Copies of this chain bind each other. A is one copy, B any other.
Amino acid sequence: MERRPNIADVARLAGVSTATVSRTLSTPERVGAPTRARVLEAVAASGYRANAAARDLRQRRARAITLLAPNLANTFFSSIIAAVQEVADTAGLTVQISDSQVEGMRLAGLGADGRTDGILLLDGQLDPAMVKGWSVPIVMVCEWMPDATLPSVSTDNVAGARLAVDHLLDLGHLRIACLGGPEGNVLSAARAEGWRAALSARGVSPRPQDLIAGDFTMARGVAAAWDWAAQTDRATAVFCTSDESALGFISECDRLGISVPRDVSVVGFDDIEFSDRFIPPLTTVHQPRRQMGLLAAKQLVSALTEARPLDVAAEVLPSRLVVRASTTSPL
């Protein structure tokens, strides 16, 4: 494993100065044609690749943005990631994807160590003090932080939840349970609030037993099926605040001999890829994930390329209900 060639090696090989090599690669039009040819030949011959650390150091930027999400396993993030890659690619930026659930020390450095130019933050539950310590522009996506004043792109979670619950009410359901999300999460709160609001708008008051604790995961959806099934006078419909938990719930109902939608209607939230192909296909609230990713990435990238501060605005995109086969009228 021999040493990587550096710019001086290339310069020597081409018989020019390092400055000329650098210019040939970054601003070719400022170099004479014969020289340029010699340099490019030397580059090819040596297999030279610029050292990013040296360039980042000198230019004080990294040509990279970081996407920071909790739990990359979540299928929900996939199309957002794809959209971000797309935008970054056309701007000549690299996307680094990192898990926001790793050890705190490493995270704190992330926004201040010169390795990234900007952050797309998909986790609303990080320590606000740490986030404030980051010295690069940040755009929040999907989630947001109630206190910190950061630009964000999200969907109208309250309205989405209302759409879902209104749909169930329209079908004639009166006892509608809500399978919640993680404690302290802004999405959990907003969706539960939408559920409550939709009910009270129709004069239905939610019973305490109808709010089932959850955490967005499939495993919790499975467990919730037992909780719900064990209740006397149980709800005839369940609004699950995530698709994953909805699918877990339905699957476990099936094993308990309870049929969806015949015995209980289920609505989800997110519209992940699998929902359309589940049996039964899941009625759910669709979030424009790709659009959110595009918008957030564009805001960040244009702030970076124009060296302009981000305006602290909360973009709220509409969500819509996708009615499939997991819901029907009671009885």
Residues on B with beta carbons closer than 8 Å to the beta carbon of A113: 49-53
Contacting residues, chain B, for A82 (C-beta < 8 A): 72-73
For A85, the chain B residues whose CB sits under 8 A away are: 99, 102
Looking at the complex, which one of B53, B278, B309 makes contact with A62 (CB distance below 8 Å)? B53
A316 / chain B contacts, CB cutoff of 8 Å: none
Residues of B within 8 A of A73 (CB): 75, 78-79, 81-82, 273
Q: How far is the CB of A271 from chain B (nearest CB, A)?
A: 14
On whether A78 and B89 interact (CB within 8 A), knowing A51-B113, A279-B254, the answer reads no
Give chain A interface residues in 210-248, CB to chain B under 8 Å.
218, 222, 247-248
Per the 8 Å Cβ criterion, residues 195-222 of A in contact with B are: 218, 222
Say yes or no: B114 contacts A1, CB within 8 Å: no
> Smallest CB-CB separation from A51: which chain B residue?
B114
Confirm or deny: A262 has a beta carbon within 8 angstroms of a beta carbon on chain B: no
With known contacts A97-B96, A277-B248, A102–B89 Cβ distance under 8 A: yes
The interface stretch among A103-111, A140-148, A159-167 is A103-111
Q: Is the C-beta of A177 less than 8 angstroms from some C-beta in chain B? A: no
Q: Which of B54, B98, B277 contacts A247 (CB 8 A)?
A: B277
Which residues of the partner chain B approach A56 to less than 8 Å between Cβ atoms? 53
Interface string of A182-203 (1 = CB under 8 A from B): 0000000000000000000000
Q: Which residues of B contact A74 (CB under 8 A)?
A: 78
Whether the Cβ atoms of B277 and A218 lie closer than 8 Å is: yes
Distance to closest chain B CB from A289 (angstroms): 11
Q: Is A133 an interface residue (CB 8 A)?
A: yes
Q: Do the beta carbons of B75 and A81 come within 8 Å of each other?
A: no
